[in-house]
Amino acid sequence: MKKVLVTGATGFLGKYVVEELSQYGYQVRAFGRNRKIGQSLENSSVAFFQGDLTKQEDLTQACQGMDIVVHAGALSTVWGPWEDFYQTNVLGTKYVLDACREDGIQRLVYVSSPSIYAAPRDQIAIKESDAPQENNLNNYIRSKLASEKLFKDYPDVPSIILRPRGLFGIGDTSILPRVLKLSQKIGIPLIGDGRQLMDMTCVENVALAIRLALEAPQASGEVYNITNGEPRAFKDLIEETLRGLGYPITYRKVPAPLLSVIASSLEFLYNILKLKGEPALTRYTYCLLRYSQTLDISKAERDLGYRPQISISEGIEQYVKDYRKH
């Protein structure tokens, strides 16, 4: 039975990864800071390890005796000081790589992010090789790019990088909850005709892709985009979700240039006045709402045998059912 360390196990994606791997016969060491959530994951094939990604000794200890590592832990948000992202996402990944090298780990799967492709333009069927060298749209993106670059200094650690886009599912605390809050407060911001393409991924499919990446021998050293492979228009996704929930659908038409100015001005104010919290709109969120962005996942299909198991509509249905229970 293979032993796997999963960082970020206490997070949204991590919990699905722990479940997927334990179901497929792995012995899981679930790494995170939140003891309550960590202990709730424990069973005969999952043990919690309380640790902090910013502490090298925690990762050194956590990796000991492991065969493989999934590094999904990160400070995963659109706004915050560089130092925080640097400590957790860049140094944290370096500590994971060091520990993997020291322990002769057989495979490391790193969960990066396609936010590194973000740009103020439509982008269709982005390939892994289209990643820019630099992208300073926000500090999260900078940190994910910087962490990916670390891998070239560790050719001896057999690694795979995944870039899964727009995760949603039961337990999501980021995308759908924000949309629902907006819809209740002011209505859904609609730019243009709302036909911009969104390329989302059911969280269960990402957990599947991670397991496949652990098991695909030929994929070492490669980077893979992961999505559901079914880009949908922004308006269609919103309407399917809100209709399912029985919510009224109210749009707020906003001119794109105005939104762009608001996002830049808010970021400027937050930076200059060192305000706490995050701006209601950032340049990154503006790009997500305004432009189509889809990823080419043919490389993951070919090398990993990745086939999404849950469709977008099934994912929305599950989410709606669960939401209605609370």
Ligand X SMILES: NC(=O)c1ccc[n+]([C@@H]2O[C@H](COP(=O)([O-])OP(=O)(O)OC[C@H]3O[C@@H](n4cnc5c(N)ncnc54)[C@H](OP(=O)(O)O)[C@@H]3O)[C@@H](O)[C@H]2O)c1
Q: Tokens for 184?
A: 């209740």
Of 4 and 72, nearer to ligand X (C-beta) is 72
Q: What is the spatial distance between Cα 110 and Cα 90, in angstroms, rounded to a whole number?
A: 12
Of 11 and 189, nearer to ligand X (C-beta) is 11
| Shortest CB 114 distance to ligand X, Å | 6
| Shortest CB 228 distance to ligand X, Å | 12
Q: What is the spatial distance between Cα 230 and Cα 310, in angstroms, rounded to a whole number?
A: 11
Of 74 and 105, nearer to ligand X (C-beta) is 74
Q: What is the spatial distance between Cα 68 and Cα 28, in angstroms, rounded to a whole number?
A: 10
Residue with tokens 């880009």: 231
| Shortest CB 161 distance to ligand X, Å | 11
Amino acid at 136: N
Chain centroid to CA 262: 26
| Shortest CB 225 distance to ligand X, Å | 11
| Shortest CB 73 distance to ligand X, Å | 4
Q: Are strands 46-50 and 188-190 parallel, antiparallel or unpaired?
A: unpaired
- Backbone φ and ψ for 246, nearest 5 degrees, come out as 75, 20
Would you please indicate which residues are annotated as catalytic (active-site) residues?
140
Task: Give the footprint of ligand X on this chain (CB under 6 A).
Answer: 8-14, 32-34, 52-54, 72-76, 88, 111, 113, 164, 166-167, 174
Beta-bridged to residue 7, according to DSSP, are 31, 71
| Shortest CB 45 distance to ligand X, Å | 19
Q: What is the spatial distance between Cα 58 and Cα 87, in angstroms, rounded to a whole number?
A: 14
Of 181 and 252, nearer to ligand X (C-beta) is 181
Of 107 and 144, nearer to ligand X (C-beta) is 144
Of 73 and 279, nearer to ligand X (C-beta) is 73
Burial 29-68 (b: 16+ CB within 10 A, else e): bbbbeeeebbeebeeeebebbebbbbebebbeebbeebbb
Distances (CA, A) of 136 to 7, 70, 116: 26, 26, 9
| Shortest CB 80 distance to ligand X, Å | 11
User: Which residue sits closest to ligand X, CB atoms considered?
Assistant: 11
Ordered DSSP codes for 73-139 = -----S---HHHHIIIIIIHHHHHHHHHHHHT-SEEEEE--GGGG--SS-EEEE-GGG--S---S-H
Give the angle subtended at the CA of 24 by the CAs of 312 and 201, to the nearest 5°: 15
Of 126 and 251, nearer to ligand X (C-beta) is 126
